[in-house]
Chains A and B, each alone.
Chain A
């Protein structure tokens, strides 16, 4: 067997799973002593270009409470055509279609390399994808123009059969009827009054398509489109014109006021519209907002400009009068949307806050995207938005809809909960732990929107009693069953089955320790911390974290925007946490501990410590914090550049040096979603603050003379440096040990 790191990498590559421990303590008692729980980061749609979808349906364990899927870990009796479920030990007959099965003629799902396998469900209608644009019109003309162009562009990226709809809002909310000749029609709703689905249905004159789920495919296609949601191919031109004619909200905004923006109602109507027409069908509500909701349900701030949008300070003082109500409104919307399998994306582009704090659940519960930018007229938005429609090699969108994730475990272990862009389906079962972590109490979660990087943190509890030893060679197994609507409209089921060895903590502590996956554990704990931070009071979380962790990156985590709200707006915090909770391990690590590369004439680019001592005058630094890609030119380099040496033929090497980080940055920019903010700065530049705030302040104005001036740049902060932090930790560890 290879080393643990190799093993881990291989598992991640194959199943999209990384466990905090790769050998599990065999009893509950031991497990609890381990501090870091048995947990996994699971990426349900981990890209597997090599994985051919299987055109039949999975074979399920016949036990009603189990229903586990036949997998390579099952024991198969080829003669009797029986297989034993490795979760409940139920013996099951193969279905008739497996009559030809034998050792040499195994179905794919029994092959070990197919521990992750994808089935295509042939039953049921092929549902079209639905994209509903919800567009704010209260913005500057430039912004609106940029947004309109982006939207028009996006039409060309949609599959021709996809249904699109358009809702615009400002003071009023307009639901546009598509495909009408001559006069364009829209249904208008007042922005201050919430409507339930039934009211909306009446007011829009919608008839519920009977084809909710179980209807035959033949009737499905026709009634599926309605006046508000029509196939792109049909109303492409119409919608393009319509978008082209979009005007700024015409209602006058008097001096000292914010425009009245009925975001809450607009989203409510969007949710209601889909609820009425396409329940349980994959659909994306893409919300583009240029500012905070200022009226109606979901408003986060009044229209008086003199009243600023709530800050963390206000929240702490319980001084944000709209926050609770608005949050409740968006939560209910998020729940409705997730119930129906609909995704809510939020593209918020404004210099000020837009209410992401209140709305975060919309994206978080439904697996939607949350994108924050300064303006729709930035490449950050434009490219990010474009990247939403990225396609894979097969030409399918890299997105999946209306997924449910079910976790099945062997008897010794139970699932405590999940943290990620999901909601509970409240499915009780034998494998559900009473001990909840994150979204718990269920073994099934709904993930309305999935993409290949969407990663959930799943926490488990070892329930095996100390006095009930596990038989030698016994393995704990966990099966992840993800049913989802592929972007082609097919329903698919991806099954990943994974197993780990048990070990007695008293006798095999070494092997357990060796199996520890530091990175995964860090992210898992960070997620837990963030989850707590969101649901509990801030300082307590830090304290909890301090008690729990003694790890390097935790120093950065403590300083990260995921936990620290200082200097961040509530919206920003929400945004960062959102991203953190859904990105895969690598990205998450970057988020916590940014990567810093140094470029100099001294050698090839090298990663350097995220420390103020790394900031040298003759270096170019490239920092990737996930949200930002920053190129920092050291003082000397900056001067050279200013002097224009790169233009001179004899200094071509300098030109190359300047270009190298830029190229690397571009590469990062092209792959990352959402697109990071790209910053090009230099010593003394205002944007350099992004760098300075991240590095370990080993040199500050307090101690810079102690360290000498030969290297690094002092950071003006009162934060303790890693050195101090570590010293303190050590002290604590010793004292606590004692």
Chain B
């Protein structure tokens, strides 16, 4: 959590930092206890800190504003985890702050945690911390810093999920406090579980009551959250349940006022009493359950000392909490009122979702300890702990204050927004990019039970702002990458995919072509195994380069073909070492020495380099192309220019939906844009046309004909091509005939009643046509329905929702007949690439239909419920792009590596007939192939690891070429080095592809578990080997993997791995196939969508994105969200009229047409810029994104919410915070 905080931290810390950093560090270890105590004091004092809140906003902002902070952040991240943190004592100051933030939170949490546990002390601390954060910071912070000092580093990396820890491991540490709670709670939990269901129903009431009862509800809520916290639902449940059980409990707990009081004092006592109480009570309530625990805590006071905190994983939680706490406090006042209303609404809304959650809760109990559910459970504890800690955190580290402040601000905001609380949070955050988050986050958790929950959950939960923020990381990277990236330095990780940067090829392939998971590979297999970091490269061989980068040079080595190593056949590249005066060269891959052919000979200069080194791309660049000779061609014959064949479904559905008409109309113009290498020349690509339903219609469009001729092949059981001459034609020569044909096709089938279609024979037809013409090519198949007509490849409807979640689920992703696999093989052999455009109205079995496209390097496009009016634009843009894009045919890709590693596994759209050659019937500029490497020997640090990816293909003009990409990475013998040079986005790309392939053969749940385990192992390995020693309760993440949990969670929550009830099997299969060939940039935005606030638009730059959480959305704002496949424009319910006028040209929210797919063209700068942005988004993606306008609280918002990936998903996916807690628990288990 802290990790994320960097950003937030930074800002908060920024201020505190000065003092903090160093002081913090020094004292850190020892200091804690002491600081703490003081803190508590101050904290409590601060609590009133309401001002803080007010302040906090400021601080937060300022903090952000502070350049130093970010820098520090950056540095810290670079420094890597805690380990570094510490080492960089000097740095610490800087880093420290960040760490601090985290720490502060974490520690704070820790501390708080303990305090909380301890009851009064912690709390106070908590409350104080915040206040401190804002006000006291200086004072307390120092002390904190000390404590944090060590932690700081930790913080950065580690997020201490106190709560988490507590929950899981905590049993013992937190245990006292929390464990008990749990234990004590058990009843509670039971109650909860029981309650849950009722809770919802109840929930509303409580909510309503909430306002009036702010305290109580909050009280219960908190408790709930705490407990339920993990299971937000439970919380809600609590609320609801509260009335009955929980209340009692609560009440009882509450009564224990003593305990509460003790607590309250900390956090809310101040604010709480009346309003603040809510928070306090919450806290306390948790405590109540905890009470017992608290006692321990109290005893724990020692825990107060960070040690305690350490156990304090809670502390981190606290950290988060504190912030929340403050808000709560602030909220109390403001919240109550707002809370309730919003709450009620939310509750109402949530109730819906809740129920499901409730159910989970029951299970949760068990899960608690073990499973994911535990996260929930844990979470609460965490949050609790956090809350506790937080205070300290805040107090201690300025960072905390930062967060705190931020929170406070939020609180403040909330105050301002009071009503919004729920939404408000979001909005608040909106304003405060990073910060608002915390609340929202909590709300999310609590979301279910917004009203009551908000405050309490907030307190107990991790502060979403405190956990690593993707946005921050992305922004930091952007800020850092101002210089062109040069590829000459081995092992240097490139900027993130989200960053715009220029590449200068200096001997390694551009990251646009190749991205690695690790730029510093472990030297030995053992290390690799220990770290579990996947070693993989995502290769996009034909990637399109920006205008300002030159495409790979074409090298012609003459008749002899490219110069290659004699043994391993690697192509000439910068890694070849010329020896013996240039007469021979030694292969960098296999070390074999090969004679230099006479025509290639060149003298060496004094450094041993050939003097023509810089004249030859293959000696100086990472990427280039060779002209292949006839030896590289099929049948030793130079290839023919490729052909495009359009196969159009003309069954009833296809005609009715307008698809046929649209395709035919479009093709008339599109055919002028067939791919060509020289824009001056006509395309060499020939075209052919087929329509089909139950039978196939071929068209003779020979130029000499006055009218096209239709040739019907109804013998689909044994497909053949009825004609040769006149089927594949040059567009220019046959233009009139083709146009006549395209005009007539829609007419001819306008009255068709044929509903059955075939599919296998369609591809066979295209394949046979290419065979007959003896060329490679691409089939564009426009298809609508499940092919049930009697023919090879006939399918039956096998969609069975009952199988989902069972062991048989995997069979649904496998093709239902083997026919298409065989067909795909034949297609690949011929170089026949298949692109499939689907227009289904019902199940079409994408898993089976997609086999051929996927195996041939083609693409599948799916337009479910296609309607000409609304989907035309999207389809046409996809089609245009698909037809025009650069594509190579009949390709074979081979990845060679230096001795020591080997490419062992490949993911993507292709076919492999052996273990080394990736065969692609077609390879376009959007297709990426992920290659996994495994050690088969040791690598040396000196030479590093080399890889060379060679792709032999036929260009669109029929030229046979070899494209070569070289990549060298470092090797390391220290794990820390490995963790320092990883790229999380690429790792996620690999993981997702790995997992999505895994579901073909394993139950989905097993796949998910595997992912979580591997991730936990990666992080645990880091924690164990690279991070400086610290409390087991701390979650320490490597700097460059700090987003791993959040991204991984997104993968786990994706429709493929965790389908919602409304996600069809086809959608899942579609996504599965789609992602399998995505590059890193696409997979990144797919899993973590880009969400931009549109309140202010400046030309030239995009607004800073906000995190994908509902809390970040302001009711008064408009946001745009982009996933690479979808594009949403979310409009808040209380959006300003001016915005509406600017965007939609209407002053009223209600007049916005939710069905519009494009924005009206309005003559104002805002509208222009917005449309410009949308256009630029679309231009960036390989698929056109249809714009969907989502009005807040509209039905369609459900769809939109699905992409708020940091939130809990309707299908049961954990929220980011929950997942992080869970991950922490897993890590702890691994470590213990």
Residue numbers of A with Cβ under 8 A of B are: 172, 174, 177, 182-190, 193, 195, 199, 202-205, 245, 250-252
Contacts and interface: CB of A to CB of B under 8 A. Distances in A.
Contacts of A186: 709-712
24 contacts: A172-B720, A172-B722, A174-B722, A183-B707, A183-B708, A183-B744, A183-B748, A184-B707, A185-B709, A185-B710, A187-B711, A187-B714, A188-B712, A188-B722, A189-B714, A190-B715, A190-B718, A193-B715, A203-B695, A245-B705, A245-B706, A250-B723, A251-B725, A252-B724
Given A183-B748, A203-B695, A251 B711 contact: no
A393 B718 CA distance: 52
B715 A203 contact: yes
Interface residues of B, number: 27
**Interface residues of A: mostly helix, strand, loop or mixed?**
mixed
A463 to B, nearest CB: 54
A183 B722 contact: no
Contacts of B741: 183
Contacts of B714: 187, 189, 202-205
A133 B102 CA distance: 89
A195 B715 contact: yes
B767 to A, nearest CB: 15
Contacts of A188: 698, 711-713, 722-723
Contacts of B356: none
A190 B720 contact: yes
Given A188-B711, A193-B718, A245-B705, 12 more contacts: A172-B720, A182-B747, A183-B744, A184-B709, A184-B710, A186-B709, A189-B714, A189-B715, A190-B715, A193-B715, A199-B715, A205-B714
Interface in B870-894: none
Interface string B729-771: 0000000000011001001100000000000000000000000
Nearest to B737: A183
Interface of B: 695, 697-699, 705-715, 718, 720, 722-726, 740-741, 744, 747-748
Contacts of A172: 720, 722-723
A727 to B, nearest CB: 65
A434 to B, nearest CB: 47
B1028 to A, nearest CB: 75
Contacts of B726: 250
A189 B744 CA distance: 24
Contacts, number: 68
Contacts of B715: 189-190, 193, 195, 199, 203
Given A188-B713, A193-B715, A182 B744 contact: yes
B724 A185 contact: no
B707 A182 contact: yes
A183 B724 CA distance: 18
B728 to A, nearest CB: 12
Contacts of B710: 183-186
Identify the interface centre among A174, A177, A183, A184: most chain B CB within 10 Å of its CB: A183
Given A190-B718, A205-B714, A250 B707 contact: no
A430 B511 CA distance: 98
B550 to A, nearest CB: 43
Contacts of B706: 245
B712 A187 contact: yes
B706, B710, B740: most-surrounded residue (chain A CB, <10 A): B710
Contacts of B705: 245
A172 B722 CA distance: 6
B707 A185 contact: no
B712 A251 contact: no
Contacts of A187: 711-714
Nearest to A250: B725
A65 B708 CA distance: 60
B741 to A, nearest CB: 7
B896 to A, nearest CB: 41
A29 B81 CA distance: 124
Nearest to A175: B712
Contact of A185 (B712, B720, B725, B740): B712
A184 to B, nearest CB: 5
A260 to B, nearest CB: 12
Contacts of A174: 711, 722
Interface centre among A187, A195, A205 (most CB of B within 10 A): A187
Nearest to B698: A188
B737 to A, nearest CB: 10
A204 to B, nearest CB: 7
A137 to B, nearest CB: 12
A684 B276 CA distance: 133
A174 B711 CA distance: 8
A313 B709 CA distance: 46
Nearest to B745: A183
Contacts of A190: 715, 718, 720
Return the 4 tightest CB-CB contacts between A and B, nearest first.
A188-B722, A203-B714, A250-B725, A185-B710
A544 B1096 CA distance: 113
B709 A183 contact: yes
Contacts of B720: 172, 190
Nearest to B716: A203
A187 B740 CA distance: 20
A185 to B, nearest CB: 4
A172 B711 CA distance: 11
A172 B713 CA distance: 10
Contacts of B744: 182-183
Contacts of B698: 188
A187 B724 CA distance: 15
Contacts of A185: 697, 709-712
A188 B699 CA distance: 11
Nearest to A189: B715
A202 B725 CA distance: 28
Contacts of B695: 203
Contacts of A250: 723-726
Contacts of B722: 172, 174, 188
Contacts of B699: 183
Contacts of B697: 185
Nearest to A203: B714
A188 B709 CA distance: 12
A206 B367 CA distance: 65
A183 B739 CA distance: 12
A333 B720 CA distance: 24
Contact of A251 (B709, B713, B718, B724): B724
Nearest to B696: A188
A144 to B, nearest CB: 15
A648 B235 CA distance: 130
A183 B709 CA distance: 5
A456 to B, nearest CB: 40
A189 B720 CA distance: 9
A458 to B, nearest CB: 44
Max count, chain A CB within 10 A of own CB: residue among B718, B723, B726: B723
Contacts of A202: 714
Contacts of B709: 183-186, 245
A172 B726 CA distance: 15
A186 B710 CA distance: 6
A193 B726 CA distance: 24
A185 B711 CA distance: 6
A204 B723 CA distance: 18
B75 to A, nearest CB: 71
Contacts of A252: 724
Most buried by A among B715, B724, B740, B741: B715
B775 to A, nearest CB: 15
Contacts of A251: 724-725
A174 B722 CA distance: 9
Contacts of A189: 713-715
A177 B709 CA distance: 11
Nearest to B711: A188
A193 to B, nearest CB: 6
B698 to A, nearest CB: 7
A202 B789 CA distance: 12
Contacts of A183: 699, 707-710, 740-741, 744, 748
